[in-house]
Amino acid sequence: MMKNHLLLVALLVLIIVPGIAATRYLASSSQALIPLTDRAIACVEDGDWAAAERFAGDLREGWDERKDAWALLMMHEEIHELEQSIARIEQLIATKDRPGALAELQVVRLLLGHVGEKQRLSLINIL
């Protein structure tokens, strides 16, 4: 009987610990990309298109480093939405479309901010 309880506890730990680690990874890696969007926003607002392009490139690079790992941990629709938004940002900045670039940068910032929250185990996410 005691062996069954220990086995159950061990299985729960094997399920819960990787889940917590995955949630923390998503939260921290998404938070690392947010400052790049903030800097790009500031550059677009200031009309510094060369700097905005650099930060958009850094955002793309950071995203490319993370997207494969994220694909294992979250919904593919969310990954696809981020991928599309980052591609739009690059084009909007390249064409110096200030309103479009600002709007799309805010979308990416919002999506990145919600990554950790969406994956966190909570009563709201369960219901």
- In tens, the pLDDT along 34-91 reads 999 999 999 999 999 999 999 999 999 999 999 998 888 888 898 999 999 999 999 9
Task: Give the pLDDT of residue 3.
Answer: 80
Domain count, the chain: 1
Exposed e or buried b per residue across 73-102, where buried means at least 16 C-beta atoms within 10 angstroms of its C-beta: bbeeebbeebeebbebbbebbeeeeeebbb
Instruction: Please tell me the distance from the alpha carbon of residue 54 to that of residue 109, in angstroms, as a whole number.
Output: 17
- Least reliable range by pLDDT among 10-19, 35-44, 70-79, 101-110: 10-19
CATH number at residue 75: 1.20.120
Residue 98 domain-assigned (yes or no): yes
Residue 29 domain-assigned (yes or no): yes
Residue 51 domain-assigned (yes or no): yes
- pTM equals 0.80
- Least reliable range by pLDDT among 9-13, 78-82, 94-98: 9-13
- Provide the domain limits for residue 30: 25-118
Task: Give the pLDDT of residue 123.
Answer: 40
